[in-house]
Amino acid sequence: MAKTLSFGVLHLGTSFTVTYALTGSIAVAGAVTFIEPVANTVLHYFFDKYWDHPRAQAWRARLGRPARAVQPAG
């Protein structure tokens, strides 16, 4: 749990620093720092739901198969 919490703090610090460096605005950096994790959490919820969908499973199965070899002519 300590590792997860420390990574969370590191993520927030990185988000704030990068956004502040790009915008020069403490207000924008603060807003992005707290809005981005909420948006990622919501996105992750839907991603997890879709991950188990049969269509997503079929797509992953197709990606995992090796390509068929092309037979030489003649």
Q: Which tokens in the block code for residue 66?
A: 């090796």
Structural domain for 52, as ranges: 2-63
Q: What is the 3-state secondary structure (H, E, C) of 8-34?
A: HHHHHHHHHHHHHHHHCCHHHHHHHHH
Divide the 74 residues of the chain into consecutive groups of 10 and give the mean pLDDT of each group.
88 95 98 92 90 88 71 64
Q: Specify the number of domains making up the chain.
A: 1
Q: Given this model, what pLDDT does residue 72 score?
A: 66
Nearest CA-CA partner of 21 in 36, 10, 9, 32:
32
Type of residue found at 44: H
Say if 9 falls within a structural domain. Answer: yes
> Residue 1: its pLDDT value, please?
84
Q: Judge whether 74 lies within some domain.
A: no
